Amino acid sequence: MNLDEIIKKDNLEGFSKNEVFDDLFNIKDYSSQRLNLCFELFFREPTYHMLHEMYMDYSEFSENEKIFFWSKYGGLLEEKNSNDCLELILYSLRIDFFGDANTEREAWTSLIEQNLNKNAIKRILEHSGPVSYRYKSKIYKKYLNQIDMHQSILISLYTSLIDFNGMISFEEARNTFIKLDIKEKSEIYCFVEEYIFNYNFKNVEGFKKLIKKYYCLQTR
């Protein structure tokens, strides 16, 4: 049965999309096709609730379900233009999968090993604050010779610094930063430069000082 047939069969018309999602995700009758149905519903009317519920149940996924799940995330990340689905996927990655030590490595490798296009790699980098620095640094090195990737590498360094759970190696970050060819010295650029060259570790007082200095960053 397709999604519309299931909604009709189970008398789910009139229910919120999140309620419909919960039924699809938890009713055993649909276990073999639940992820396909859930993503179909998500693409129709996306909410973070749907992605978070899948994250909460991720450890129970079969290997085939995990492959399917990450193929959906990867496909959205490769899209040229931003949209509501993509923005929620990025939020889910940063807050749930990258921010959880139990899923961080698997989420990262499951995406990177798909050989995604540059649109996807840029987005992954820009939302990779909580990811272990040793994973990110491999991607930095791979793309440092491509100037069109430098802005995303800079943003990755920035989010690694400001994210509460952000992971960064100051010595390696300096070596990466000096190789970036960025013409416009934005506040993000100046913040990263001043932070990594004045401190050797994430420093609360230093952070407060710089975030106050670069006022516009407070609203990001």
pLDDT of residue 150: 98
10 Å Cβ neighbour count for 208?
A: 10
* pLDDT per residue rounded down to tens, the chain (220 residues): 677 666 676 666 766 777 777 777 776 554 558 888 889 889 988 999 999 999 999 998 989 999 999 999 999 999 998 899 999 999 999 999 999 999 999 999 999 999 999 999 999 999 999 999 999 999 999 999 999 999 999 999 999 998 877 889 999 999 999 999 999 889 999 999 999 999 888 877 877 778 777 755 544 4
pLDDT of residue 76: 95
DSSP assignments along 73-122, one per residue: HHHHHT-SS--HHHHHHHHHIIIIITT-TTTHHHHHHHHHTT---HHHHH
Domain ranges within the chain, ordered by starting residue: 1-115, 128-220
Look at residue 195 and give its three-state secondary structure: helix
pLDDT of residue 131: 95
Look at residue 71 and give its three-state secondary structure: helix
pLDDT of residue 149: 98
Query: What's the rounded Cα separation, in Å, for the pair 191 and 217?
Result: 9
Q: Rounded to whole angstroms, what are the CA distances from 31 to 4, 62, 130, 144, 207? A: 17, 11, 32, 44, 47
Query: What's the rounded Cα separation, in Å, for the pair 202 and 199?
Result: 7
Q: Supply the angle between the helices 150-162 and 170-177 in degrees, to the nearest 10.
A: 150
Query: What's the rounded Cα separation, in Å, for the pair 5 and 215?
Result: 53
pLDDT of residue 32: 56
pLDDT of residue 19: 77
pLDDT of residue 28: 54
Amino acid at position 201, single letter: F
The torsion angles phi and psi of 182, rounded to 5 degrees, stand at -125, 120
pLDDT of residue 166: 83
pTM of the model: 0.86
pLDDT of residue 14: 66
pLDDT of residue 10: 65
pLDDT of residue 81: 87
Query: Using the 8-state DSSP alphabet, how is residue 148 labeled?
Result: G
